[in-house]
């Protein structure tokens, strides 16, 4: 939702330039996956009880249960959201095909950082934090430290993405003909800019790591 929301805002601010279209297509893809999962797990098959097994009556029937009516409203709402997201995504792709333009610097940043991969880092950490707090009843160190932890993990993922782009290009693995990562082969950003981004993202993570080591008095668990 966060990435999709940021992508939509990016499009509005950038007036459908190339960076906005990139943000929208990536953001809507992530939101479509999320909406599909949440619709199934929370409304269609909630707590292992499928929607069609709630009762034999259609949702407009007065004998229909309140649970089924509630689920129906949310399912229809989510379907409409999925439809709207699909339309926005297709509009962005059509704009991109109909009005090809030189990639902007912001599109280069988005392609280089690959923010759509951050969920693979954040999702297990959020689940782990939820288990520690809600199931194991362990006190977390506070919102600021927790958010700093999540930000540092995003920085690690960003560093990995940037280093991967840089090394593959330098070694000749990524070429104009075969590269899936177009960051450097299409000159979306320069090598110097990519190296600066690597240093910045790595510094963010190292700063939090060293702070956590010092704050925990060199705890072997942290090390």
pLDDT truncated to tens, each residue of the chain (223 aa)? 555 566 556 555 554 455 556 656 666 777 777 788 888 887 888 888 888 888 888 888 888 888 888 889 988 888 888 888 788 777 767 766 666 556 666 767 777 788 777 877 888 888 888 888 888 888 877 778 888 888 888 888 888 888 888 887 777 776 766 666 667 776 777 888 888 888 998 898 888 888 888 877 777 766 5
N- to C-terminal Cα distance for the chain? 33
Token reading at 46: 């909630």
pLDDT of residue 5: 60
By CB atoms closer than 10 A (0-12, 13-18, 19+), residue 100 is: exposed
Q: Rounded to whole angstroms, how far apart are CA atoms 175 and 182? A: 9
Q: Rounded to whole angstroms, how far apart are CA atoms 117 and 113? A: 9
- CA proximity to 6, closest of 124, 109, 98, 133: 109
Q: Rounded to whole angstroms, how far apart are CA atoms 46 and 52? A: 11
């Amino acid at each position: 939702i966060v990435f999709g929301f940021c992508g939509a805002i990016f499009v509005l601010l950038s007036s459908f330039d190339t960076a906005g279209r990139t943000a929208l297509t990536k953001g809507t893809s992530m939101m479509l996956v999320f909406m599909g999962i949440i619709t199934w797990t929370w409304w269609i098959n909630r707590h292992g009880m499928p929607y069609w097994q709630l009762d034999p009556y259609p949702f407009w029937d007065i004998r229909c249960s309140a649970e089924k009516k509630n689920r129906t409203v949310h399912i229809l709402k989510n379907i409409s959201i999925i439809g709207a997201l699909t339309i926005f995504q297709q509009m962005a792709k059509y704009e991109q095909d109909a009005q090809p333009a030189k990639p902007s610097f912001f599109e280069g940043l988005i392609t280089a950082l690959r923010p759509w991969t951050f969920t693979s880092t954040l999702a297990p950490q959020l689940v782990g934090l939820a288990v520690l707090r809600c199931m194991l009843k362990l006190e977390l160190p506070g919102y600021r430290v927790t958010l700093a932890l999540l930000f540092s993990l995003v920085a690690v993922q960003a560093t990995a993405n940037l280093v991967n782009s840089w090394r593959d290009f330098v070694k000749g693995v990524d070429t104009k003909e075969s590269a899936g990562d177009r960051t450097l082969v299409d000159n979306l950003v320069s090598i110097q800019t990519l190296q600066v981004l690597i240093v910045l993202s790595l510094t963010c993570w190292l700063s939090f790591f060293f702070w956590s080591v010092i704050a925990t008095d060199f705890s072997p668990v942290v090390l």
